[in-house]
Amino acid sequence: MLVVSACGGGGSGNTDEFDLQDNGTVSVESGQLLDVSMAAEVAEEASTEMFEASGFTPPGDEGESMVAIDNGDLLPMIFASDTNVDMDFARSGAALVAQLNEALALPADINVRFSDCGEANAFYAPREGNEGNPAVAEGGAIFICHELNELFSNFFTDPDQAFATSVFVIMHELGHALVNQLELPVLGIEESYVDGIAAVFLGESGLSVGSVLAGWFFANQGQAPFFDTHRAGPQRLGDLACWGVGADPDLLQDPVIDSISQQLVVTGRRCSEEYNQQLRGLQSVLGDNIRGGLTDLIVLSDESDQE
């Protein structure tokens, strides 16, 4: 959530954040890499794939040079933790990230690192400004800190709710990565923009409960590290609950979600319209960088199935 780097495009803030990450590199003792096999397999399968090869034809064009070439993958990596944090979320998150490569065409590889950070946080770091850091691939790196998943597990009594929130966070950071890599045009605050990306990714996969719960979580945190350029907790809850419910009004049947979202009904926000506007916008800017559309983009594995 926080994002140091994606917000500023490589300001000095990156460096500080990165000091926290130095123990997470492959070669250092406390950050032993647990699992890259999945990433390697996925990369091998998909790295040189071109959408052209699958018969994809870009819209409104004779098919000249408009085809998105898929030169990059999300490369999930799970690192050992110095704490007793449960690794299930990291494993499920890594599996989810790996399967996104089937749909996403990226210009360069992006590392997705599940590791200790020294604080409960998550962020995207672009390559620019981090060229010497081996943790950061050509397309940057997403960091999902074990400590943050632990915080989710402690906050939510239901592990499915905790994981749904973790999935939202992964998609939020992926949003930052897409803004950077695909040079998506951002109007307004990038943090809100990528919250919208995450809400649409979850919404189109029937996982909107994760958007609402993430909003609830943020609204209940004090000055957590991921509070910087994000909107204030209550505002962010208002947005995320609205977009979650906007995508899936049936969520209001759940008494918890209903109570969280109640204030939105009172204020009369047009949540379905807000959601659909973002859906259309995202479809437009992603274009042929996403194969097969946004529907059911995210598939949870059995063990992490939440509903």
Residues that bind Zn ion in the complex, under the rule CB under 5 A:
1, 3, 191
> Positive or negative CA dihedral for 294, 297, 240, 207?
positive
Q: Which lies closer to Zn ion via its Cβ, residue 28 or residue 189?
A: 189
Whole-number Å distance between alpha carbons of 22 and 134: 9
Shortest CB 226 distance to Zn ion, Å? 7
CB of 2 to Zn ion, least distance (A): 6
Cβ distance to Zn ion smaller for residue 75 or 142: 142
Minimum gap (Å) between residue 4 Cβ and Zn ion: 9
Q: Which is nearer to Zn ion, 60 or 188 (CB)?
A: 188
Nearest-approach distance from CB 130 to Zn ion, in angstroms: 17
In angstroms, give the least distance from the CB of 248 to Zn ion. Answer: 23
The residue number whose beta carbon is nearest to Zn ion equals 3
State the minimum distance, in angstroms, from the CB of residue 190 to Zn ion.
7
Measured from the CB atom, is 1 or 224 closer to Zn ion?
Answer: 1
Which lies closer to Zn ion via its Cβ, residue 74 or residue 87? 74
Q: Which is nearer to Zn ion, 1 or 68 (CB)?
A: 1
